[in-house]
Structure 1
Amino acid sequence: MTDLALGTYRCRAIPESAARAAASGAWIDTAPNYCEGRAHILLAPALATHPELKVSTKAGYFTAATGADAVRACVLDGEQAATGHCLAPVYLKWQLHRNRAELGRERLDMVLLHNPEGVHPGDRGALHRALRTAFAVLEEEVAAGHLTGYGVATWHGFTDGMFTVPHLLALAADAAGGAHHLTAVQLPISLVMIDPLLQALDGQGPVVDAAMAGLEVMASAPLHGGELPAITGPELTDLIRPGLTPAQACLLTTASCPGVTQVLVAASSAPHWAEAVAVVAQPLLDPDRLREIVGVLTSA
């Protein structure tokens, strides 16, 4: 069983979509830089009305306006603010406090370090040191009652070999001095970003490693920024499962990846959300069908 989550990166109607997610019992995924820095504020009313809603947010990227606020708060200098991305401890603590205030939550369900591979491009050692330091800050937030768990949201950190799930677990254990609160990874999985699915079918890769460790695995960009439904033809859609729309076929394939626990979808309209809810309620594709689908894609 794979759950549906509302992704807010490309969501055009966050308040209405959040209300639909609440009615479906879905997780919501957001970030302080989404919707030009307004995503948290737009979500806050729905979160106040539905305190049971689970939310993952992020730390790392920030808008120019947030960067200016951070400079005024003396947690970033002008050069750091110009990069739009930072995981330094002083900034990270400030951003976590800001996230809590904007979302109206005393305790955050989950904070994901946002594409940390961008902090030290190509320098694995420096990146691991930065991650270990950031994990220590997050463990402090857990101890203070401000955070339940944390993780990493990456676009290409796994595929570029900048870290693996065992690396992340070891860094978290070192930062915590033992039992840690690293609970999730988020990465793109789709008919385009298909490597994690290929690896999972072979019992390898980040999805399997995370699942074996009991982590949440959040699959992002299942529709590849909305591009996939338009290029998924009827033959491929029918191969995945007859009777589905192209968007549903793409979502079902991602949801069926062994080890995935949540699929993020930015459904702004009620019909699109209903389509997504309906397809994740269906039986998942078995590994043989997934291999057939992958075979068609890789031979094209």
Structure 2
Amino acid sequence: MTVLGIGTYRSRDAATSASIAASAGCPLIDTAPVYGSGTHQAAIAPVLRAHPELRVSTKVGYMTDGQARVALTSEALTDEDAACRHSIAPDYVRHQVTMSRMELQRPKPEVVYLHNPEYQYENRGNLHQRIRSAFAVLEELYASGDIGGYGVAAWTGFDTQAFTLSDLLHLAKEAAGSSETGLSAIQLPVSMVKVAPIRQSLEGSGPIALAYQAGLEVWASAPFHGGELLSLVTPKLAEAIQPGTGCTEAALKVAASAPGLTGVLVSTTNSAHVKQAADAIREPLPDHRLKDICDLLDPPTR
């Protein structure tokens, strides 16, 4: 069954979001160094300290202006990457994981993602080399017990075939020098707008299904497509998805019903919304019904 996690990307009060996650029994809270203009990781640290059972995932990639200056001073960042405000270079990966561990006050974040490694995508060969180099550092940190595992949080990477799940598994094995790796999770957008991963999962293909088969956690981000989706789901469409379901619950149910998902991330500072979301995903749509909805939202080409 798909579980509910709390994301802080759109949270106006990350500490409250984390407290709600802990109180509601959510297994994981997802954050990143740049969220909340660089304030969210420190904000949720007291909650993480009080609730060691609450897992946390963070990321490496994007940076604030202040984070870029600190990394430049530490000689962990090139001027070029600092100007782009994004890097997965080995020195920066090591630097940012250290900074995140300090901010989160957790010696071992459960998952560290490469944050949209497809950013600055030039060609697959160059991108894969950069991912492999970043994975090599993450493997060192995994082996030393500084992180619980690592993964990739992508926005367009899987869509554009910048990399596939098979690519990531192969690159992780090369970085580790063995078939046993610390690669443990992926995160990607799944919604009524981004239905391709859902359709693929029903067919036993695509990143969700292949990650599940490989034993990785699969977390769905942006189930409401940044909030844009909620204005597009009409009561009639919600009723067609499942009778008696509201627009928000219907949108979440579709995303969470993709076979192979570990969990879906929502962002809220309202405990009632968490309960509604948890209720919405408790009973997934049957596969045949989910396929009909995918066909309705994105008719297959013939």
For the aligned pair, the TM-score class normalised by the smaller chain equals over 0.9
Report if aligned partners of 1:113, 1:151 keep a CA contact under 8 Å in 2.
Answer: yes
- Alpha-carbon deviation of 1:221? 0.4
Q: Where does residue 154 of structure 1 map in the other structure?
A: 154
- Alpha-carbon deviation of 1:239? 1.6
* Aligned counterparts, 1:114-133, within 5 A: 114-119=115-120, 121-133=121-133
Q: Where does residue 43 of structure 1 map in the other structure?
A: 44
Give CA deviations for 1:34-61 in whole Å, capped at 9, x if unaligned: 1101110111111011111100100011
* SS, match of residue 265 in structure 2: strand
Q: Where does residue 181 of structure 1 map in the other structure?
A: 182
Give CA deviations for 1:106-162 in whole Å, capped at 9, x if unaligned: 11100000000114x131001111111111100100111101110000001111111
Q: CA 1:298–1:80 in structure 2 vs 1: closer, same or farther (change >3 Å)?
A: closer
Q: Distance in 2 between matches of 1:270 and 1:92?
A: 34
* SS, match of residue 22 in structure 1: helix
* SS, match of residue 225 in structure 1: helix
Q: Distance in 2 between matches of 1:60 and 1:14?
A: 20
- Alpha-carbon deviation of 1:299? 4.6
- Alpha-carbon deviation of 1:295? 2.1
Report if aligned partners of 2:108, 2:148 keep a CA contact under 8 Å in 1.
Answer: yes
* Aligned counterparts, 1:6-25, within 5 A: 6-25=6-25
Report if aligned partners of 2:20, 2:269 keep a CA contact under 8 Å in 1.
Answer: no
Q: Distance in 2 between matches of 1:223 and 1:268?
A: 16
- Alpha-carbon deviation of 1:268? 2.2
* SS, match of residue 243 in structure 1: coil
* Aligned counterparts, 1:1-300, within 5 A: 1-26=1-26, 27-119=28-120, 121-178=121-178, 179-281=180-282, 283-299=283-299
- Runs of 4+ in structure 1 deviating by more than 3 angstroms, as ranges, are none
- Alpha-carbon deviation of 1:280? 2.1
* SS, match of residue 77 in structure 2: coil
Q: Distance in 2 between matches of 1:126 and 1:79?
A: 16
Question: Over the residues paired in the alignment, what is the CA RMSD in angstroms?
Answer: 1.3
TM-score (norm 1): 0.96
Q: Distance in 1 between matches of 2:127 and 2:53?
A: 35
* SS, match of residue 264 in structure 1: strand
Q: Please tell me the residue identity of whatever aligns with 2:89.
A: A
* SS, match of residue 116 in structure 1: coil
Q: Distance in 2 between matches of 1:35 and 1:105?
A: 19
Q: How many residue pairs are counted as aligned between the two chains?
A: 298
Report if aligned partners of 1:47, 1:53 keep a CA contact under 8 Å in 2.
Answer: yes
* SS, match of residue 158 in structure 1: coil
* SS, match of residue 21 in structure 2: helix
Report if aligned partners of 2:219, 2:265 keep a CA contact under 8 Å in 1.
Answer: yes
